[in-house]
Amino acid sequence: MTTTLRISLLALSSLFCVHLHAQSSCQVNLEELDGSYEGDCRAGLAHGQGKSAGSESYQGEWRKGFPDGFGTYTYACGDVYEGYFERGRREGQGTLTYVDGEIKEGIWQNDKFAGYYSEAYEFIEKPLTGSYSIQRMGSEENRVEIILTNKGTAFNPYDLDYVCSTGVAVRYPNRFGWEAVEYPCTINVSYSVQVGVYLSPVKFEIEIKEPGDWKMVMRH
């Protein structure tokens, strides 16, 4: 083997080892999932789309090392939950299928089943792309906050148009909404999201019927 060939093979081997090290150093913050992780990373943490398996497994959206967004979680006992998460806990709409075939579908709050459906809000026009979660964070303030994300990262569309039938509109770098809202209120939102090299239009209309501090996340 020539000296040049040896050097080339050594360089390739080093690159391969660096890749493996980078992949394995992507941290998962749930002990049950800490094993093998494959997917997107940011700042050394699982962030974006990915899957991980330890004593239990999860595949879907991640944020800062936790299941966050939409995904599928398989428990050690064989039960499977498909739905929304927030910092590793079931939050929002989801379906839990028990190993014996029983199904529990509805709204989850703080990792616990909260009810089979919600009459607190109703979509007049649902978004045709992406996924969403809606939850009432509390009842002390009457406001609505909306966050738009693309591949796990919040973004601020240049063509965002948002209108609410009541309240005072506010807009921040990564979120927007209304304060001093009187319920029921009707919300119209439209914007474009980057899909590959194209911009895809998104539009939805929702009526929120009950007072509270509401948070909606649209995920693309």
Indicate whether 69 belongs to any domain.
Answer: yes
Q: Could you give the C-alpha distances from 79 to 49, 56, 70, 142, in angstroms and in order? A: 22, 10, 17, 37
Residues 128 and 196 in one domain: yes
Number of domains observed in the structure of the chain: 2
Indicate whether 81 belongs to any domain.
Answer: yes
Residues 104 and 166 in one domain: no
Indicate whether 8 belongs to any domain.
Answer: no
Out of 116, 146, 164, pick the residue that ends a domain: 116
Indicate whether 7 belongs to any domain.
Answer: no
- Domain enclosing residue 158, as ranges: 121-219
Residues 112 and 127 in one domain: no
Structure tokens at 208: 């929120």
**145: which residues sit within 8 A by CB, 6+ positions away?**
175, 176, 177, 213, 214, 215, 216
CB 205 within 8 A of CB 128: no
Residues 108 and 191 in one domain: no
Residues 62 and 150 in one domain: no
Instruction: Tell me the pLDDT of the chain (220 aa) as tens digits.
Output: 554 444 444 443 444 333 333 345 899 999 999 999 999 999 999 999 999 999 999 999 999 999 998 899 999 999 999 988 999 999 887 889 999 988 888 888 889 988 766 678 888 998 988 888 888 877 778 999 999 999 888 999 999 999 999 999 999 988 999 999 999 999 999 999 988 888 899 999 999 988 889 999 998 8
How far does CA 65 lie from the centroid of its chain? Answer: 12
Residues 95 and 125 in one domain: no
Residues 108 and 130 in one domain: no
Out of 89, 116, 143, pick the residue that ends a domain: 116
**150: which residues sit within 8 A by CB, 6+ positions away?**
193, 194, 220
CB 68 within 8 A of CB 85: yes
Indicate whether 18 belongs to any domain.
Answer: no
Q: Could you give the C-alpha distances from 18 to 23, 65, 89, 181, 216, in angstroms and in order? A: 9, 21, 33, 53, 39
Q: What is the CATH number of the domain that holds 53?
A: 2.20.110
216/53 Cα distance (integer angstroms):
29
CB 135 within 8 A of CB 145: no
Residues 85 and 126 in one domain: no
50/117 Cα distance (integer angstroms):
29
The 3-state DSSP class for residue 106 equals strand
Indicate whether 162 belongs to any domain.
Answer: yes
**32: which residues sit within 8 A by CB, 6+ positions away?**
54, 55, 56, 76
Residues 129 and 207 in one domain: yes
Indicate whether 125 belongs to any domain.
Answer: yes
Residues 65 and 44 in one domain: yes
Indicate whether 36 belongs to any domain.
Answer: yes
Residues 70 and 107 in one domain: yes
Out of 97, 116, 135, pick the residue that ends a domain: 116
Residues 130 and 61 in one domain: no
**Prediction pTM value:** 0.53
CB 211 within 8 A of CB 136: no
In SS3 terms, 153-187 reads as EECCCCCCEEEECCCEEEEECCEEEEECCCCCEEE
